[in-house]
Amino acid sequence: MEVKIPAVGESISSGVVSVWHKKSGDFVNAGDALFTLETDKVSTEIAAETSGVLDALVPDGQEVKIGEVVATIDDSKKASTEAKPEKKKEAEPSPQSSPKGGGGSETKAKEETADGETLSPAVRRIVDEENLDPAKISGTGPGGRITKADALAAVQNRKSVGDAANASPARTVSSERKQAASPTEDRQSADGRVVRKKMSPLRRKIAAQLVMAQHTAAILTTFNECDMSAVQKLRADSQDAFTKKHGVKLGFMSFFIKASVEALKVVPGVNGRIEDDDIIQNNFYDIGVAVGTDRGLVVPIVRDADKKSFADLEREIGDFAVRAREGKLKFDDLTGGTFTVSNGGVYGSLVSTPILNFPQSGILGMHKIMPRPVAIDGKVEIRPMMYLALSYDHRLIDGKEAVTFLIKVKECIEDPKKLPLEF
């Protein structure tokens, strides 16, 4: 049976086989994850549709087209192959009962890691992109399992890029292909001063989108600032009860999403976009939330944000963040969206000019909360202040509308009672 690259979303024509979870000659069961397909929008695991012996036809890092055959599964060898795992299982207890202590279990953990069985998607991605040898990474997780922190530490501790050439044979597709260089392998100059590496599909898509936004829209940024005192007090006073009731913590992002929705209702033009010679006005509020990952920035969409409670928003944002970093976001999670909120403050940014998430016409940039002296009723006080930045398409939105939008956000943050609070 041929294993073909499936269609994973509209407008996606190709992807990269970022890592094989099974190698040629392995027996696979129907439903087993064969490899991870990374596209310019999402990463997804492709599972076997039948049981049999796998023969992989492309190496890790190979770019493939939708519909391309990347492997075959020989289902005629079921009977002879299914017996092998039983024999291996019976032979393994002897090292564990060896009088030499924990060496047997450690060896077993290493063998499982080398086969890719104990690697999480996040660890697999790091191992693949950095050409690491899993068998040489000391796992600190349960049963010797390699954690993401272990993989990142291995990257930091690697003394030379040459170590990447010693990648585990379990990561190659077959013995005939061991000599071939991976299409994503780093290439180092003779003097070691420069390393060239191929851009990932996601990074290429991000680059194309940013350039398209700059070349298509007339982007302008307007700034304001808001006093975070009221939100901080409300959050501190409500945190324990909120967490106990809903099982999630009350963060700042939900306040800004709600404030953005209120501002979009006041200035509906910011919730629209230009399409050819038409203006598309959206009467719904699907808010994108920018999430930074090791692979780049992605923007999952919170659907109908105006209809969701603070707890719903916090729960959904948290779920997006986890799935984004593990590469488990689906295509539908990233499509659409009428407006975007980006929080550069989590990285320490004091002020910046965010770029539009094309074809949207507006994006709100949040920044670091900094204690600053401000004038309050004629007196100077130290308040926790945040700079706000609204980048917008000046073809559709005038300066007056942009300022009105920011002022509305500022009012909602400085007086949270203006928001639909449902704690």
Higher pLDDT, 381 or 180: 381
Higher pLDDT, 97 or 16: 16
Q: Where in the chain is the domain with CATH 2.40.50.100?
A: 1-91
E-assigned strands of 31-88?
33-38, 43-47, 52-56, 62-65, 69-74
CB 61 within 8 A of CB 131: no
| Per-residue burial over 119-155, b = 16 or more CB atoms within 10 Å of its CB, e = otherwise | bbbbbbbbbbbbbbbbbebebeeeebbbbbebbeebe
Say how far apart CA 173 and CA 179 lie, in whole Å: 11
Q: Where in the chain is the domain with CATH 3.30.559.10?
A: 203-418
Topology of the domain covering 1-91: OB fold (Dihydrolipoamide Acetyltransferase, E2P) (2.40.50)
Taking 50 as the threshold, does the pLDDT of residue 163 lie above it? no
C-alpha distances in Å from residue 205, one per residue of 62, 200, 298, 305, 315: 17, 9, 10, 26, 28
Higher pLDDT, 154 or 314: 314
Taking 90 as the threshold, does the pLDDT of residue 270 lie above it? yes
pLDDT tier, 44 (very low <50, low <70, confident <90, very high otherwise): confident
Note if 367 is an active site residue: no
Note if 276 is an active site residue: no
pLDDT tier, 174 (very low <50, low <70, confident <90, very high otherwise): very low
Of the residues 55, 75, 319, 394, which is catalytic?
Answer: 394
| Mean pLDDT computed over 138-153 | 73
Q: What is the pLDDT of residues 68-112, one digit of tens each?
A: 999 999 988 754 544 444 444 444 444 444 444 444 444 333 334
Q: DSSP secondary-structure letter at 145?
A: P
pLDDT score for 9: 65
SS3 40: coil
> For residue 21, what are the β-bridge partners?
none
Say how far apart CA 382 and CA 376 lie, in whole Å: 9
Of the residues 32, 74, 306, 398, which is catalytic?
Answer: 398
Q: What is the pLDDT of residues 278-300, one digit of tens each?
A: 999 999 999 999 988 777 788 99
| Mean pLDDT computed over 115-132 | 68
Class for the domain spanning 203-418: alpha beta
Say how far apart CA 110 and CA 116 lie, in whole Å: 10
pLDDT tier, 205 (very low <50, low <70, confident <90, very high otherwise): confident
Higher pLDDT, 202 or 302: 302
Say how far apart CA 316 and CA 21 lie, in whole Å: 29
pLDDT tier, 121 (very low <50, low <70, confident <90, very high otherwise): low
Q: What is the pLDDT of residues 320-376, one digit of tens each?
A: 999 888 878 887 888 889 999 999 999 999 999 999 998 999 999 999 999 999 999
For the chain, give the longest Cα–Cα distance: 86
Taking 60 as the threshold, does the pLDDT of residue 422 lie above it? yes
Task: Count the helices and strands in the chain (H runs, E runs).
Answer: 12, 21
Read off the tokens for 178.
């061991």
Percent above pLDDT 90 for the chain: 43
**Does residue 268 have a cis peptide bond before it, meaning omega lies within 30 degrees of 0?**
no
